[in-house]
A = this chain, B = another copy of it.
Amino acid sequence: MHQLPPGYKLRRVNSSDFDAVIKTLQVLTTVGDVSQAKFDEILEYWEQTRITIKGNQVPAYNMFVITDDADRAVATGTVLIEKKIIHCGGLVGHIEDIAVSRDQQGKSLGRMMIEHLTTYAHDLGCYKVILDCSDENVGFYKRCGYLKAGVEMSHRL
């Protein structure tokens, strides 16, 4: 089993994570012009977007961060819960935007984030949790218990 380094925590994202989250996400892709106000607006939208599961209204968007011993977010990950008709009106978890700061590699933070999001989604009742990755990352996700399920196709204008 993997364990967070001393002083590190895994928790839901909040407004005070703005700087560190933006910096961490830049490892992944272009973040672009996102101000503190825009960040807060997105977190507020995520918080308000609810899904009723077993009588409880829970957030459909679930972004978590791993913070270091200075409470700085150094890893991020989100699981979005989708409500379907198929599989008896089943739920599917979509894992999105997994990022780990470059100076924090080798501590298994990505692995712990994936395991947390996967368990979180299954605990909510998701019959499956899916994600898209590059060919190079297939081995990593297999070690996290994932199996190849298909091909991701993308359309951009």
Contacts and interface: CB of A to CB of B under 8 A. Distances in A.
Contacts of A87: 29-32
A145 interface: yes
B33 A88 contact: yes
A127 to B, nearest CB: 7
A96 B84 CA distance: 9
A87 B61 CA distance: 17
A49 B49 contact: yes
A134 B152 CA distance: 9
Give the 9 A-B residue pairs with the shortest CB-CB distance, closest first.
Answer: A149-B154, A32-B88, A146-B153, A150-B152, A141-B153, A132-B150, A129-B155, A149-B152, A128-B156
